[in-house]
Amino acid sequence: MGNFIITYGDKGTGVHNAGELFKMSAETHEREVKTRLFPKVPSFQAGDAISTHHISTVSELTKLLEVGNVTYLAYFGHSWDGALYIGEANAPDTNLGNAGGANDTSVAKLAKEKFGPGAQIRLFGCRAGFGGNPIAAQIRQHLGVKVFAYSNSGGSLFTQDKKLGYGQRAVKKSDIEFKAFNKLKDTWLIPINGTPNFVEF
């Protein structure tokens, strides 16, 4: 039996209440994994366990992985090429990265033995796969697990029709204002520059 773990971070206090939209994106993804609508994710089979969690520290992430035999791990939240920003800014144990800052927790804290054969990680956020040695590559190098991330050089926006990331339309007001979202619709986090696919590391 495999474990599918979907996580989202950063409660957010900005103009689009990022934390709640991250939660909505994670829940959309959970439905798509269960129904096999999201491409190239390991197939969710009878007997597998799937769960979605808010995390605010790297320690909370590593605790979730203690369940072992992790087949799939997804993260929705703020990121940059050098780190995943899991929790509130300027607080210990909130960044997963190797830059050596006071709030950074090293990628080496992720336990290799908790991931099952053929496991996969997907990082949904800005620039997690961009640059010479992005955070996606650092995680892959440490764990030896396939890691996928957007390679866009800029940021990401929330959308409800997924067309933004495929360059089919311009940015709308509803992509940046939480109050404009229909909470009954699927919600996604997609690169602003039209990158449609993940890069594999």
Residue carrying structure tokens 């109050």 = 179
Segment 116-151, tens digit of pLDDT? 999 999 999 989 999 999 999 999 999 999 999 999
* Amino acid identity, position 54: H
What pLDDT does residue 194 have? 60
Q: How many domains does the chain have?
A: 1
Q: pTM for this structure?
A: 0.92
pLDDT band for position 11 (cuts 50, 70, 90): low
Of all residues in the chain, the percent with pLDDT exceeding 70 is: 94
Segment 44-54, tens digit of pLDDT? 988 999 999 99
Domain limits at 147? 3-200
User: Across the chain, where does the E strand assignment appear?
Assistant: 3-8, 49-54, 70-76, 78-80, 83-85, 95-97, 104-105, 115-124, 146-149, 156-159, 188-191, 199-200
8 Å CB contact between 181 and 158: yes
CA-nearest of 6, 123, 89 to 54 is: 6
Encoded tokens for 132: 């010479």
